[in-house]
């Protein structure tokens, strides 16, 4: 980015923050959800849970929670307006209120890798960088891209609500990096650790905040949970990455993960309450 554009952007961000404060509009936070992605040989039999996390967060009614967001697509679905020849999805926006009473409007994108159902290879899309590099992009554009709702929407978009990704650059304020703590056939823990470490290193270089979100804690593997703790204690991360333990299935700690990120982005001075999964699940499901 040129110095001029950088300066303009800084002025715009300051103005936007000021405007939101004076007009009592919710503070707008753009989040990218990232994590191990790719063909079956990379991610194993199923994905790490990025889509289910986004679905649970942005669709408030439990009837709107679907667990099938398979990334295997036909050519026509890949080039339709929802996927729009990109390897990311726009999940739309949602307003959530933190415990201290701040309203945040989150806009959510999921960085993934779509697989061609005729070749079983990833689609190339507009950008050809490897996933670990591409997923940490902080400026994203995709003209006329529609919000993703569910698999059955693809090809019959006109039958669903149509919300467009806001025009111009989508500027990512922070990342949720997902780590699946359940055992998945065909995926080694070593592979997931290596990928997530690389993604976290690349996020660190962007200087944007990140929260490490463990997924599928309703069937967690204790050894994997320990590995995640070890990962954030690496000296390069200086124990500065918070971990939030979630289950999209049971809707445990999902909002907490996004609010924790918003707090870091806003340099919140109070205490961010992060409740461990086993404690949180008792209050959520009782
Ligand atoms: N038990 C359990 N299973 C889950 C949970 N979240 C997701 N899953 C399972 O994991 C599968 C894959 O989840 P997705 O959310 O599609 O994974 P993803 O990371 O988006 O996958 P790709 O985008 O294809 O890389 C789902 O179809 C569910 O079967 C959860 O909270 N608990
Ligand atoms: Mg997905």
Predicted confidence at residue 8, as pLDDT, reads 61
- How many whole angstroms from 23 Cα to the centroid of ligand 2? 35
- Per-residue pLDDT tens for 141-166? 999 999 999 999 999 999 999 999 99
Compute, in angstroms, the gap from residue 6 CA to the centroid of ligand 2.
32
Strand partners, 179: 214
| Among the bound ligands, the one closest to the CA of 115 | 1
- For residue 248, the CA-to-ligand 1 centroid distance in Å is 8
* Ligand 1 atom closest to 178 (CA): 19
270 Cα–ligand 1 center, Å: 33
Question: Which of helix, strand or coil describes residue 234?
Answer: coil
Beta-strand ranges (E) seen in the chain are: 27-35, 72-73, 88-97, 103-111, 115-116, 139-140, 170-171, 174-180, 210-215, 243-245
Question: Within 10 Å of residue 224's Cβ, how many Cβ atoms?
Answer: 18
- From residue 119, give the alpha-carbon distance in Å to each of 37, 155, 182, 203, 280: 17, 20, 28, 31, 43
**pLDDT at residue 6, as a whole number:** 53
pLDDT digits (tens, 9 = 90+) for 214-273: 999 999 999 999 999 999 998 888 878 999 999 999 999 999 999 999 999 999 988 898
pLDDT tens for 49-77 read 999 999 999 998 989 999 999 999 999 99
pLDDT at 1: 46
pLDDT in tens, 93-125: 999 999 999 999 999 999 999 999 999 999 976
Atom of ligand 1 nearest to the CA of 69: 16
User: Is a pLDDT exceeding 90 seen at residue 14?
Assistant: no
Give the pLDDT score at 9: 60
User: Cα–Cα distance between 253 and 244 in angstroms, integer?
Assistant: 7
State residue 25's pLDDT score: 81
Tokens (6 digits) for 181: 């703590």
**Predicted local confidence at residue 237, as pLDDT:** 87
Q: Is 248 in the pocket of ligand 1 (CB under 6 A)?
A: yes
31 lines ligand 1 (CB under 6 A): no
Whether 84 and 90 have beta carbons less than 8 Å apart is answered as no
Q: Which pLDDT belongs to residue 226?
A: 97
CB of 212 sitting under 6 A from ligand 1: no
């Amino acid at each position: 980015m040129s110095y001029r554009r950088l300066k303009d952007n800084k002025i715009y961000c300051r103005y936007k923050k000021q405007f939101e404060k004076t007009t009592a509009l919710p503070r707008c936070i753009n989040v990218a959800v990232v994590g191990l992605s790719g063909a079956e040989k990379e991610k194993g039999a199923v994905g790490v849970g990025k889509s289910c996390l986004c679905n649970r967060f942005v669709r408030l009614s439990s009837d709107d929670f679907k667990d099938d967001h398979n990334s295997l697509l036909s050519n026509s679905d890949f080039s339709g307006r929802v996927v729009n020849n990109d390897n990311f999805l726009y999940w739309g926006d949602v307003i959530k209120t933190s415990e201290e009473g701040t309203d945040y409007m989150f806009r959510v994108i999921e960085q993934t890798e779509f697989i061609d159902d005729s070749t079983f290879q990833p689609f190339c899309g507009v950008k050809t960088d490897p996933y670990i590099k591409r997923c940490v992009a902080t400026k994203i554009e995709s003209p006329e891209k529609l919000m993703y709702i569910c698999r059955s929407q693809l090809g019959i978009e006109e039958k669903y609500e149509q919300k467009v990704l806001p025009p111009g650059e989508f500027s990512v304020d922070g990342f949720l990096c997902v780590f699946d703590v359940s055992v998945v056939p065909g995926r080694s823990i070593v592979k997931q650790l290596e990928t997530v470490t690389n993604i976290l290193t690349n996020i660190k270089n962007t200087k944007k905040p990140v929260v490490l979100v463990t997924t599928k804690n309703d069937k967690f593997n204790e050894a994997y949970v320990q590995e995640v703790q070890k990962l954030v204690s690496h000296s390069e991360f200086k124990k500065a990455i918070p971990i939030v333990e979630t289950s999209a299935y049971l809707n445990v700690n999902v909002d907490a993960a996004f609010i924790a990120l918003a707090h870091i982005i806003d340099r919140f001075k109070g205490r961010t309450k992060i409740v461990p999964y086993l404690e949180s699940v008792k209050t959520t499901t009782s």
